[in-house]
Amino acid sequence: FAFALGLFAFTQGESSLWLQLVAAQGSVDAEILRSQINYALENLASTPLICIDDVDALDTAGNAEHRALVQLWDSLRPLSTLIVIGRHEQLSSSRLLQLDNLSPAETEQFFTHCGRTISSDDVARYYQWTQGNLRLLHLCCSIFATVPEGKAIPDPSTDALTRRFLLSSLLTSLSETELRVLASLSVFRRPHPLNYPPDSPEFAACRTLQERRILNVTTDGNGEVVAVYRRFVYASLRTGVAQVFHSLAAELRSAYGEYASTIYHLLRAGRFAEAVDLWPNVKRQEMEQGQAGALLAAFRDGLEMGSLPDSVASVLTLYCAELNQFLGNIEQAEVDAAAGTHFIPIFDAELGELKGRIANDLGHFREAKEAFDRALERADLLLEARLAQVHKGLAWMHLRQRDLEHAERELDYAQFEIENMRGNLAYDQARYDDATGHYEAALRLAEGLNSPNAGAKTRLNLAMVYMVQGRYDDSLELLNRVYVHYQTMHRIAAMAGCRITMAVAHNLAGAHKHALACLDDADEKLRAVDKTAPWQAALIAQARAEALLGLGELTTATTHVLSAIHAADMSILPDAYRTYGEILTRQEDWAQAEKYLRQSVALAQKNEDRLLLAYAWRALGGLYLVQSRWDAVRSASNTAITLFESLQLPNEVERTRRMFGR
């Protein structure tokens, strides 16, 4: 709820709550959270309307978290208009509106509104059956067209068997295409895009289903099968057919970046390995967007399906433990983490780290220390084992066969992987000279092995270091060689990614027109393969904004940087805020410029990214410079220079000194 409220406030120009939740990964003290919510609501331009539906799902008597949630809602009254919808009153209200059954006159109006003209006697008969119950009236309205003229409609209020018969009668009146569309849509639990071409039979089928009140379609084109029909149709699907439809649903949800739903459908489709593999790549994004509860339900649902491979069940249980810990269900997280044996060694370090976090949350500090130590030990082993495992195994095989030449080659491959990973580690720790040494050693090994793939991988890594060190020509030379390799291999998406990296290098070198040309090419290639990930779109938008800022096209730059900011990717946000702050500085909007530059500083500090932090402080110094705030200029520029010196980046130190005339 807090994430949803924070995201809403963020879209309305009040970002404090959203940024705090993202920075803390949702782990905020309840009282602090309440005060932050109040602060965000107070700063909105108008009083928000908050609507809570299906409140009967809460167990306020037996669940302390549910009680706390209701208390939080209750505290929002002075700052918002709160509408709570349910069958029972869960909290005191200033106004209670009860939806009663329709009267006989309202029942007649209902049928008229539905386009049905019936006699007064029939209205009286339907009212006697339904007592004005809206759900039963909708069912009657839907089956009018299926009952032959002159034949009485069965009483839908008698029992479940009669209602099932009526549903079956309604569905038999549908065409084959309409039934197929209805079956494919029945696997969705929430509204979803109806991506059918306007002239297709499926589009026409959706129109018919909507007219028959079987399918609800919103103004934005999303559709949802009415619950009573969805349950009936889904229950009638054969297992194999349901799995096919769930696979299609997973592809659709994934295309729209709705990964919690994607994982649910993958599990339902029996595509367990894909669901397990997807989670580590998207968990941070999904948890930051408030999807932890939905993901937990999806994994629990998967575990309850039965007949899962032991390894899959173990990993799903581990994921449940992680989500419960994130949601604050510490006792259940401890149960999940201790359940069974985790059969996949690669997850041992992750499990140990999670057990340490859980023990820490419970105040069991000795157990936490032991778990963290085991995790570090296992991770240290994995650093070499994961990288060199395959090549080491092959080397041993060749050695057993006395094939010494191939054994030595495989050991060189293992050493190549280790040098690359040590370079990655040094790069992440901002030890750029060390990273350069490891990558150059890896490149020599790759060239000795005559492996184009290994060479491309290392050149890409080395280009990133050269870029940070200000060696832009060297970086672009390496990137061009990588691009040619990807082109030879027909790896279109990888070519696009390489172009984006080139654009960043061109921007840093001040060649902004070249940067825009690279970004145009990247966009074109990603559209060709239809594989633009949300983070890629955000990165392209940020790079475009940077280039346009350099060219002085501030209005267009603003459009792109706001697109990058709205993507809310934590790896891009600090730079996007910094770019927006520089745009606002050029537009002489001093107050807003300082606000966004300060946010860039705060996020870079939270991410422990000293490079982006130095860039942010330098930009802040630039703002103070045009305002002639000399003490602030001195402080900001000193901070930026100190950071660049600690990163051993003399090129950036010199650039900063020139900028401030020092």
Domain 239-343: top CATH class? mainly alpha
What would the mean pLDDT of 518-535 be, rounded to a whole number? 82
CA-nearest of 191, 221, 259 to 534 is 259
Q: What is the pLDDT of residue 400?
A: 37
| 499 vs 483: CA distance, rounded Å | 8
CA-nearest of 656, 641, 651, 659 to 469 is 651
CA 482 vs CA 150, 230, 529: distances in Å: 76, 50, 19
CA-nearest of 592, 590, 579, 638 to 614 is 638
- Produce one character per residue of 340-357: b if its CB has 16 or more CB atoms within 10 Å, e if not: eebeeeebbbbbbbbbbb
Percent of the chain surpassing pLDDT 70: 74
Which residues on adjacent β-strands are paired with residue 222? 193
pLDDT at 77 > cutoff 80? no
Copy the structure tokens of residue 343: 């059969």
Residue 365: band (very low, low, confident or very high) from pLDDT cuts 50, 70, 90: low
Percent of the chain surpassing pLDDT 90: 16
Residue 209 and residue 215 in contact, taking contact as beta carbons nearer than 8 Å: yes
Of 97 and 425, the structure prediction assigns the larger pLDDT to 425
Q: What is the pLDDT of residue 593?
A: 92
Q: What is the pLDDT of residues 224-270, one digit of tens each?
A: 887 767 877 887 788 888 889 998 898 888 877 778 788 888 888 88
Q: What is the pLDDT of residues 553-562, one digit of tens each?
A: 999 999 999 9
Q: What is the pLDDT of residue 516?
A: 95
Of 503 and 156, the structure prediction assigns the larger pLDDT to 503
Of 331 and 422, the structure prediction assigns the larger pLDDT to 422
Of 208 and 70, the structure prediction assigns the larger pLDDT to 208
Amino acid, res. 186: S
Q: What is the pLDDT of residue 8?
A: 84
pLDDT at 342 > cutoff 70? no
Residue 213: band (very low, low, confident or very high) from pLDDT cuts 50, 70, 90: confident
Residue 249 and residue 259 in contact, taking contact as beta carbons nearer than 8 Å: no
pLDDT at 563 > cutoff 70? yes
Second CATH level (architecture) for the domain 174-237: Orthogonal Bundle (1.10)
Whether the pTM exceeds 0.85: the reply is no
Residue 415 and residue 397 in contact, taking contact as beta carbons nearer than 8 Å: no
Could you tell me the residue ranges of all domains in the chain? 2-84, 174-237, 239-343, 588-662
Second CATH level (architecture) for the domain 588-662: Alpha Horseshoe (1.25)
Residue 412: band (very low, low, confident or very high) from pLDDT cuts 50, 70, 90: low
Phi, psi for residue 126 in degrees, rounded to 5: -65, -35
What would the mean pLDDT of 52-75 be, rounded to a whole number? 73
Task: Give me the sign of the Cα torsion angle 420, 423, 427, 433.
Answer: negative
Least confident among 59-63, 200-204, 349-353, 449-453: 349-353
What would the mean pLDDT of 585-593 be, rounded to a whole number? 91
Q: What is the pLDDT of residue 395?
A: 38
| C-alpha neighbours within 13 Å on the C-beta side of residue 419 | 24
Q: What is the pLDDT of residue 25?
A: 67
CA-nearest of 103, 147, 100 to 123 is 103
Of 469 and 327, the structure prediction assigns the larger pLDDT to 469
Phi, psi for residue 223 in degrees, rounded to 5: -130, 155
pLDDT at 382 > cutoff 60? no
| 647 vs 634: CA distance, rounded Å | 20
Least confident among 37-51, 116-130, 331-345, 513-527: 331-345
Close Cβ partners of 5 (under 8 Å, ≥ 6 residues apart):
17, 37, 40, 50
Q: What is the pLDDT of residue 555?
A: 94
pLDDT at 523 > cutoff 50? yes
Same fold, 174-237 and 588-662: no
pLDDT at 307 > cutoff 60? yes
Helices (H), 12-149: 16-24, 30-42, 64-75, 104-113, 120-130, 134-143
Residue 42 and residue 81 in contact, taking contact as beta carbons nearer than 8 Å: no
Q: What is the pLDDT of residue 478?
A: 92
The mean pLDDT value of the chain amounts to: 77
Residue 552: band (very low, low, confident or very high) from pLDDT cuts 50, 70, 90: very high
Q: What is the pLDDT of residue 131?
A: 67
The DSSP line for 429-476 is TT-HHHHHHHHHHHHHHHHHHT-HHHHHHHHHHHHHHHHHTT-HHHHH
Query: In this structure, what DSSP letter does residue 94 have?
Result: S
